[in-house]
Amino acid sequence: MMRTTHLLFAAFIYLLLIKLNIISFSVLGLVIVLIATLIPDIDAETSKLGKKVKLISTAFKHRGFFHSLLFGILVAGIFYYANSSLYIEFTIGYIAHLFLDSLNYAGINLLWPLPTRSKGFIKTNGLTEKLLMLCFFIVNVLLILSLL
């Protein structure tokens, strides 16, 4: 999936949880959600984050460790044990990324290091993804308006 789709979907989940009164809005929370949804692609040499941290993007296989529940649990655990409620926002953004990538043809290795792989039907930058991106954008605008 493309970066914009990941950002819009993570924002959608965050806004929806706010609308349902499950969590409260904070600017820092939104920033953490958006950063967390980009973190799994740190292992891709072509991603913006991967280009900035070449050591990681060249040392790790894309859609391996950083696209696994193990990595997400480790980072969320660090937030949790640092006594920060931001583990919730991290988890929202991170799981949003994993969910979308599991719908992609390439799939993800969610239970890394086990060799299982979940694959979907959406082509990166294809028509289906572009339509999803548009839908997330429209729904996000409507959610923001409804929260004002």
Say what percent of the chain tops pLDDT 90.
69
Residues 68-83 pLDDT 10s:
999 999 999 998 999 7
Compute the distance between CA of residue 87 and CA of residue 105 in angstroms, rounded to an integer: 29
Compute the distance between CA of residue 118 and CA of residue 139 in angstroms, rounded to an integer: 27
pLDDT at 76: 92
Give me the torsion for CA of 39, 43, 48, 53, rounded to 10°. Answer: 100
DSSP annotation of 65 reads G
User: What confidence category does residue 31 fall into, taking pLDDT thresholds of 50, 70 and 90?
Assistant: very high
User: What confidence category does residue 87 fall into, taking pLDDT thresholds of 50, 70 and 90?
Assistant: very high
Residues 91-107 pLDDT 10s:
999 999 999 999 999 88
Residue 21: partners with Cβ closer than 8 Å, 6 or more residues away: none
